[in-house]
Amino acid sequence: MMIIKNTEYFVMLHTRGVFKRQAAVVEKALSAAGWSVSINKDKPRKGAFVVTVEGEAKPAVELLGLARPFTKLREFDLDSAVAKILSK
């Protein structure tokens, strides 16, 4: 899980194993925008890549049931996901 904080916003990004590379992309982009980031506060779910802004009921990004070779995650546009998070 990644927690990203910007004033009252916290974003949790659930990651596991190979997904850490994608989490690093999100972390780098949000850190550059002044958000503080923490990875994997709780044990992540298997095959899940979830970005949640704390205080909101629905995740900003939710990719569940991912199986090897994680094509869906590799093809996902992380830049648009980061832009969506930053616009909140």
pLDDT tens-digit map of 32-50: 888 766 666 677 778 888 8
The answer to whether 47 and 66 have CB atoms below 8 angstroms apart is yes
Give the whole-angstrom CA distance, residue 56 versus residue 76.
Answer: 22
- Which region holds residue 40: left if phi is over 0, alpha if psi is between -120 and 50, else beta? left
Task: Name the burial class of residue 69, with classes exposed (0-12), middle (13-18) and buried (19+) by CB atoms within 10 angstroms of its CB.
Answer: exposed
Q: What's the pLDDT tens digit per position in 3-36? A: 555 554 555 555 555 677 888 888 888 888 887 6
Q: Determine the pLDDT at residue 17.
A: 58
Specify the residue for token string 């974003």. 11
Q: Determine the pLDDT at residue 77.
A: 92
Q: Determine the pLDDT at residue 80.
A: 92
Q: The pTM is what? A: 0.70
